[in-house]
Amino acid sequence: MKKEIQNKITVSVIITTFNRPIFLEKALKSVVNQTYKNIEIIIIDDGSTIDNYKIVKKFYKEKIRINYLKLKKNSGAPYARNFGIKVSNGKYICFLDDDDEWLPEKLQKQIEKFKNIPENVALLYTGGYIKNAKGEIIETFRPAREGKVLKFLLEENFIPFSSVMIKKKCFQNTGMFDTKLYSCQDWDLWIRISSKHYEIDFVEEYLTTITKHSLPSIGTSERAITGYLQFYKKHFFLFIRNGLQNFLFKKYIELARSFYHKKKTMKMLECLFYALIADRRAFLKWVRRIRERR
């Protein structure tokens, strides 16, 4: 029976959610309204205390396979996404955050693109819009990088998470989301995909809508900053091999300043140590400038 399902389903859409039923309903609606219908929707409820199922069951009347799975406890988005990948049946995997949405032709355009590009392309992303909590468009993002993009990816995470379509088989070589990282889990995965000699491409049209909330950014929290430190340590030698010693030095100095302001002395010193190792000459110049100011 499982093989029959696998043969019929081309795209598995994985939505992780936690206590946001209003957003979830909009996200689900945008998937159900896709022009491409050979899909399954896998909703991983990451231990919500609010009843999300009453939202999900509204969509059971649609002629699309919907699989709602609730975790016993809140385990974090990377764990929930990995769980979704493991139970998926599609040839391609798409991720959609519960507060983001797709335009109707998103999946259709990506499937068509995959049919006409080299086999070693493992990931497609799209252009799109960034909206505020009121639903107003405040920015747009247009894809620009394609092919062997590892060095560009090391410098910047330019791939919007909810825009990607990935060949499921590539997870066998790259692994899934790193649940040990406190942040940067998607960036880490894109880098592992690119470093395994896969290529990356894009659909230029604006097909994904990202919601930017007015709440304080999670990226400024101590946990998120620690995630960046974990990320740069994990890929330290990859940065060095790609000639990004000075770039890495600057990132460690930025993190050291962040930990200094949060009064996390040991983490600040760890960042300074890695800054020294990354680019000794730049580090010594930086120390001299600090001394001169005093």
The model's pLDDT over 178-188, given as tens digits with 9 standing for 90+, comes to 999 999 999 99
Token duo for residue 52:
């999300």
DSSP tag of 147: B
For range 90-106, the mean pLDDT: 97
Cα dihedral value 257, 263, 269, 271, nearest 10: -40
> SS3 of 8, please?
helix
* Residue ranges per structural domain of the chain: 2-211, 218-293
pLDDT at 63 over 90: no
For range 8-20, the mean pLDDT: 93
pTM above 0.95, yes or no: no
User: For residue 7, what pLDDT is reported?
Assistant: 54
| HEC-encoded secondary structure of 53-102 | HHHHHHHCCCCCEEEEEECCCCCCHHHHHHHHHHHCCCCEEEEEECCCEE
pLDDT at 134 over 90: no
CATH superfamily for 2-211 is Spore Coat Polysaccharide Biosynthesis Protein SpsA; Chain A (3.90.550.10)
Percent of the chain beyond pLDDT 70? 96
The model's pLDDT over 30-60, given as tens digits with 9 standing for 90+, comes to 999 999 999 999 999 999 999 999 999 999 9
Minimum mean pLDDT range among 55-69, 117-131, 270-284: 55-69
Measured from the Cβ of residue 287, the count of other Cβ atoms closer than 10 Å reads 13
